[in-house]
Amino acid sequence: MRFNVNLPCEYGEDLWKMPPFDGNGKITKRVSNGLENVPYLYSDLARRHALENENNPSNFRVKEVRLVGSGARENKILSDLDILLICPEIDEKSADALKMMISYILLCDRPKHEAIDAYIRAYDKYAERGFVDITSQTKSLIRKYNSRLVSRYNPRLRNNPECCPAI
pLDDT of residue 78: 82
Angle formed at CA 88 by CA 82 and CA 28, multiple of 5 degrees: 30
Q: Which helix (H) or strand (E) holds 72?
A: helix 70-74
Phi, psi of 37, deg, nearest 5: -70, -30
User: What pLDDT digit, counting tens, does each position of 66-96 carry?
Assistant: 999 988 889 988 888 999 999 999 999 999 9
The domain limits of the chain are: 13-155
Q: Is the dihedral of CA 57, 60, 63, 65 positive or negative?
A: negative
Where residue 3 falls among pLDDT bands split at 50, 70, 90?
A: confident
Where residue 156 falls among pLDDT bands split at 50, 70, 90?
A: low
Q: Where is pLDDT greater, at 10 or 157? A: 10
Where residue 112 falls among pLDDT bands split at 50, 70, 90?
A: confident
Q: β-pairing, 116-121 with 131-133?
A: unpaired
Averaged pLDDT score across all residues of the chain:
88
Which residues is 68 bridged to in the sheet? 82, 131
| Residue 49: Cβ within 10 Å count | 18
The C-alpha atoms of residue 104 and residue 125 are separated, in whole angstroms, by: 23
Task: Output the pTM of the full model.
Answer: 0.88
Would you say residue 11 has pLDDT above 90? no
Where residue 155 falls among pLDDT bands split at 50, 70, 90?
A: low
